[in-house]
Structure 1
Amino acid sequence: MQVFALGLNHHTAPLDVRERLVIDLPRLPQALHDLLRAKPIEEAAILSTCNRTEVYCATENPEAAAQWLAEYHRLPTQQVEPYLYTHPQGDAVRHMFRVASGLDSMVLGEPQILGQMKQAARTAEEAGTLGTLLNKLFQRTFAVAKEVRSTTAIGANIVSMAAAAVHLSERIFESISSQRVLFIGAGEMIELCAAHFGAEKPRRLTVANRTLDRAEVLARRFGGDAMRLDDLGERLADYDIVVSCTASPLPIVGLGMVERALKARRHRPMVMVDLALPRDIEAEVGKLDDVFLYTLDDLAQIVEQGLESRQAAVIEAEAIIDGQVTSFLDWVDSREVVPVIRALRDSAERTRRHELEHALKLLARGDDPLRVIEALSQGLTNKLIHGPTEALNQGGEERGEVARLISQIYRLHQHK
């Protein structure tokens, strides 16, 4: 029985595909039961977030889990397969370690994924689908993630435009949680920024886009709301932080629009982050007294400062993970001989009990205790070496190898 990790994430599938394969937390227990009942899978856990849906399972048939994932969402398998990856045994262990440590996240080093993995393990345990193998793997995964975060700087430096946007906003507003945040656009950069700002639990999160449906999909993932881009001028004053990144050839936010918003806000400060090229926000907006306008160049300076340190941390983290993967696989290999060890102990125990019962009968009959003890020891010796002796006497081409193994097992020193 091997462990497999299979699924899709932001590296392999676009947002619209990931959205269709999400399994909400309340549905996870039943989904796990369905998976184990319908397929030849012994253990399973499911991690489903906005950026990934992954199945961790103990099975000899990972294709069954991939098929189940498509069937569960009532999608043709051929529509899902192009986006799926399947990692067997060692690769699966390494993948889980990297995911929990934040090395596979859209935001390198982000800490939220570890909590999500812990929730996935708790859900599987409560559902009764987490056996010895996956339980051990999850516990080791959490330990590895803790080691990575405590001994490297993987989460200590800003290495993305989105993280830099949060950092600059925090310079003006002490707490993002009390601010209203508006995102203009619904592309990958805005998605990444929404993930960063959403982690800070802002007072309100809104996505404005030309296509309202797309804005609603993105906003829903972070507990926000959506609005049409045409309504931007009327509602801009409602927001303290504005992050914009569209493909518009002309500015979307003009000087006059911002001046009207500031008047309505009674000149309470606004942070505006323009991540677009060409610019979404007119450059003149930055000259207003109550606006803190940041552009790509401003954010790039912050990102550059953190990249070198973070990359060094990644190398350190990967080294830790490599060592822990080897350690876990050694434990898995050791489990394969557990049945043999148990059988060997059971056989020895039966022999011991048989000889002991025989000795007790002789003592009860009044036989000499010294002779009974001598007979007991001889009986144990003869029965315990009977198997190896018989194997040596059978002859054949394997006799030499049998002799070598017996010498190694019993640490024999042959005398010529």
Structure 2
Amino acid sequence: MTAYSHGIGRYPSIFAPGSLLTIMQVNQPKNISNFHIVGINYKKTDATTRGAFAINQDQYQQILQDAKQSGLDDLFILSTCNRTEIYGFADNADQFFKLIDQHTIGNISQFQQLAYAKSGEEAVKHLYHVGSGLDSQILGDYEIVGQIKNAAKFSKQHGCVGTFMERLVNSVLQVSKLIKNETALSSGTVSVAFAAVRLLENKVPDITGKKIVLVGVGKIGRNTCKNMMQYLGTKDITLINRTATVAEDFAACNGLRCAPIENLAESIQDADIVLVATNAPHPTIHKAQLTNASPKLIVDLSIPFNVAPDVRELPHIDVVNVDELSKVQDETLERRMQEVPKALCLIEEHMQEFLYWFKMRKHAVVLKAVKDKLTEIHHREILQQKNGANYQFEDLEAVSSRIIQKMINLMAGKVRKEADKSDLYISMINDIFETGVNQE
């Protein structure tokens, strides 16, 4: 639930077309030790704390602007109901803590106390685990894939995703897809939206006769609504959204009702069940709206919470939030747990492919420079020959001979200059050109 919201070689980019060769030629590689992730998640924080550090789209855009002014131009932010994390390149992770401090309402000291920070390959591995649902509050939650994709895409649109990050995100999304298709990690209750349906199924056995109001028709709201219709068989659902056309279009496609946001208080008064999936920075549902209402169940799917805390004081109102919802387990959990080793193997395989690409990419810069040097020699010799008074096609043989000799002279000159490394250089040249000569 979003608060705003390659393997190598064979995986296309999700962001924009372009060949790997082009990318490798124009981008200098970065030091992977400067790749960091800092964040908090559900493991050490409750939903209220996470809500204080949730980042909506406006905040995200401002963070990216401020980051670029500070020289940070390769990062993205993942802010969901379960976590707020910054991934990217920086001299040190403290620079990311500073961005959190400047743009969220939470106390930065509390954030630092509860946060985790990882660098280098550990940070890379963390993103693979997050993207595969292994680090989710509901094991195997597949909604995180879309959230990572959207977060990285938003950052790229604002000029803050470089080659390393783009390639890494592509790899993570591809591995996540493989895990979903080749394991049973994502079977059963694998998202907050579906967990809400399980909750309703258990708490409201006669739900088809109940009036339901869904406040917020974003991705989480739509998924929850579809799941209710498909698995619970209920269609007595009224949709309310701040942008009315969004609710109207979804209602028309699914045979549901909708009501304007101005009728929110009236609509929830009459409802038996209220699901709140909005993205407002402050509560949408208040105690005063429910004091004289009929008994009802309210499920708050929002981060930060969109149901005011004092609503829980009303004895006839039962409120369930995302932390409580994530405890809903189903009969497939044990089977999903058994799939974790398979998922870890797939992650390890593709992470190593990614790291190999990264290491080889550093060599590509040198190889490109060698190619440029050879091209320079070639062009110079061709030009010299063409400037001759009696240029003949057969003279290309002489040109080729001079080019080869110049290459040998370059290598020999380096060997003479670096006498202490001469054996190493000659051995490498011998291996590269596979001469078959035994140096022993």
The TM-score with structure 2 as length reference comes to 0.65
Give the share of equivalent positions with the same residue, in percent.
21
2:401 aligned to which of 333, 357, 378: 378
Cα deviation, residue 393, structure 1: 3.0
Is 1:318 the equivalent of 2:318? no
Aligned to 1:397, the other structure's residue is in SS state helix
Is 1:35 the equivalent of 2:67? yes
Work out the CA distance in 1 between the residues paired with 2:284 and 2:45: 23
Could you tell me which residue of structure 1 aligns to residue 285 of structure 2?
Answer: 225
Aligned to 1:235, the other structure's residue is in SS state coil
Deviations 1:380-400 (A, max 9, x none): 111111122123334633222
1:68 aligned to which of 76, 99, 107: 99
Is 1:122 the equivalent of 2:148? no
Work out the CA distance in 2 between the residues paired with 1:41 and 1:413: 49
Q: Within 5 Å, give how 1:140-151 maps onto structure 2.
A: 140-151=171-182
Larger Rg: 1 or 2? 1
Could you tell me which residue of structure 2 aligns to residue 108 of structure 1?
Answer: 139
Work out the CA distance in 2 between the residues paired with 1:327 and 1:135: 15
Cα deviation, residue 368, structure 1: 5.5
Residue type of the alignment partner of 1:101: S
Work out the CA distance in 2 between the residues paired with 1:100 and 1:236: 41
Aligned to 2:387, the other structure's residue is in SS state helix
1:235 aligned to which of 293, 298, 303: 293
Is 1:179 the equivalent of 2:203? no
Cα deviation, residue 343, structure 1: 0.7
Aligned to 2:62, the other structure's residue is in SS state helix
> Does the 8 Å CA contact 1:41/1:58 hold for their aligned counterparts?
yes
> Does the 8 Å CA contact 1:219/1:226 hold for their aligned counterparts?
no
| Residues paired across the two proteins, number | 339
Is 1:346 the equivalent of 2:372? yes
Cα deviation, residue 158, structure 1: 4.0
Question: Which one has the bigger helix percentage?
Answer: 1
Could you tell me which residue of structure 1 aligns to residue 247 of structure 2?
Answer: none
Counterparts in 2 of 1:352 and 1:169: CA distance versus 1, 3 Å: farther
Cα deviation, residue 203, structure 1: 4.8
Between 9-18 and 376-385, the greater mean CA deviation after superposition: 9-18
Cα deviation, residue 367, structure 1: 5.1
Work out the CA distance in 2 between the residues paired with 1:68 and 1:241: 32
Work out the CA distance in 2 between the residues paired with 1:111 and 1:395: 56
Q: Which has the higher contact order (CA 8 A, sep 6+)?
A: 2
1:398 aligned to which of 421, 424, 432: 421
> Does the 8 Å CA contact 2:36/2:89 hold for their aligned counterparts?
yes
Between 4-13 and 163-172, the greater mean CA deviation after superposition: 163-172
Could you tell me which residue of structure 1 aligns to residue 164 of structure 2?
Answer: 133
Residue type of the alignment partner of 2:44: T
Work out the CA distance in 1 between the residues paired with 2:139 and 2:51: 21
Between 98-107 and 385-394, the greater mean CA deviation after superposition: 385-394
Aligned to 1:55, the other structure's residue is in SS state strand
> Does the 8 Å CA contact 1:44/1:57 hold for their aligned counterparts?
yes
Residue type of the alignment partner of 1:341: L
Work out the CA distance in 1 between the residues paired with 2:279 and 2:375: 65
Residue type of the alignment partner of 1:91: E
Work out the CA distance in 2 between the residues paired with 1:124 and 1:219: 19
**Over aligned residues, Cα RMSD in angstroms?**
4.1
Residue type of the alignment partner of 1:92: A
> Does the 8 Å CA contact 1:204/1:224 hold for their aligned counterparts?
no
Could you tell me which residue of structure 1 aligns to residue 363 of structure 2?
Answer: 337
Cα deviation, residue 45, structure 1: 1.0
Counterparts in 2 of 1:169 and 1:147: CA distance versus 1, 3 Å: farther
Could you tell me which residue of structure 1 aligns to residue 79 of structure 2?
Answer: 48
